[in-house]
Amino acid sequence: MIPYLQLLQDVLDNGQFKGDRTGTGTYSVFGRQVRYDLQAGFPLLTTKKLHVRSILHELLWFLSGDTNIRYLKENGVSIWDEWATQEGELGPVYGAQWRQWKGEDGKTYDQVATLVEGLKKNPSSRRHIINGWNVACLPDETKKPWENAAAGLMALPPCHVLYQFYVCNGKLSASLYIRSNDLFLGNPYNTASLAFLTHMLAQQCDLEAGEIVISIGDCHLYANHLEQAKLQLERTPTALPKLNILRKPDSIFDYRFEDFEVVGYEPQGHISAPIAI
């Protein structure tokens, strides 16, 4: 996970301070790219312990098209609690746009099903995209996330906005644009989630997993994460774990939590950091 640690150092060295929506303040750089070869190991941070359960359940929840935190809470995952309404609603966030993008004609579009079909039938295509940025559903910036959700708008606009997939020489690679990235808390989740998704899609399409490439717009460290970032940089990264998927489900929508086994994940201790809401 050297590219991640280099990015942390980059932001510590070059980040400019600016205020932000949450009132916390961040140090940021604009426009960065990191890449990981999935054949070299599964990209989980070893310089702090990540809650892999949360990452995997969140991805399965996105893929199911669900936008209520009930499923996450039933599985002990609390990472979306702060943005939801009392009823657990987040409005039409990722799951809704991925699986039920609403067209003007009342028709809904399943971008994930279309993606898998396209990867299988027309692998050389340059149009393998999932896009979360549905302008009609963006929140009213003057309202709180849960107020927007209650009004049927997204609680937060998507951060991991645009996914593109690429098939070459029997390998599936993925590129993700993240418009705004919380480098200490969000980025490690986004990286591992993209890696899980790429392995799942590769399995469904009888391909090997290739590379993941992450391009970041506003790449920031919250002002109250600086000490944690420095502590992590004092640590030496160790060998990456390996992902085993224990069966081949019938479709991309049939994966269960128990199907995944991460072998050899031996991270250093967890480093806690406050989340900016």
Ligand X SMILES: Nc1nc(=O)c2c([nH]1)NC[C@@H]1CN(c3ccc(C(=O)N[C@@H](CCC(=O)O)C(=O)O)cc3)CN21
Binding-site residues, in ranges, read: 21, 51, 126-127, 179-182, 190, 220-222, 276
Going through the chain in order, the beta strands assigned E by DSSP cover 16-18, 26-37, 101-102, 108-109, 129-131, 160-168, 171-182, 208-222, 242-245, 260-263
Sign of CA dihedral 109, 100, 98, 167: negative
Candidate ranges 39-47, 72-80, 196-204, 260-268; the one touching ligand X (CB under 6 A):
72-80
Catalytic residue among 159, 168, 205, 219: 159
> Residue 96: which residues within 8 A CB-CB, separation 6 or more?
65, 67, 137
- Within residues 130-169, the interface with ligand LAUPNLSC by CB under 6 A covers 156-157, 159-160
Measured from the CB atom, the residue of 76 and 152 that comes closer to ligand X is 76
205 is catalytic: no
- Choices 65-73, 126-134, 162-170, 269-277 (CB under 6 A): range interacting with ligand X: 269-277
Q: Which is nearer to ligand LAUPNLSC, 190 or 228 (CB)?
A: 190
Strands annotated E in 134-259: 160-168, 171-182, 208-222, 242-245
Complex with ligand LAUPNLSC: residue 233 or 277, whichever CB lies closer: 277
Amino acid at 196: F
Minimum CB separation of residue 35 from ligand X in Å reads 20
Which residues from 152-181 bind ligand X, rule CB under 6 A? 156
How far apart CA 216 and CA 5 sit, in angstroms, is: 15
The structure tokens 């426009």 sit at 31
Q: Which residues are catalytic?
A: 159
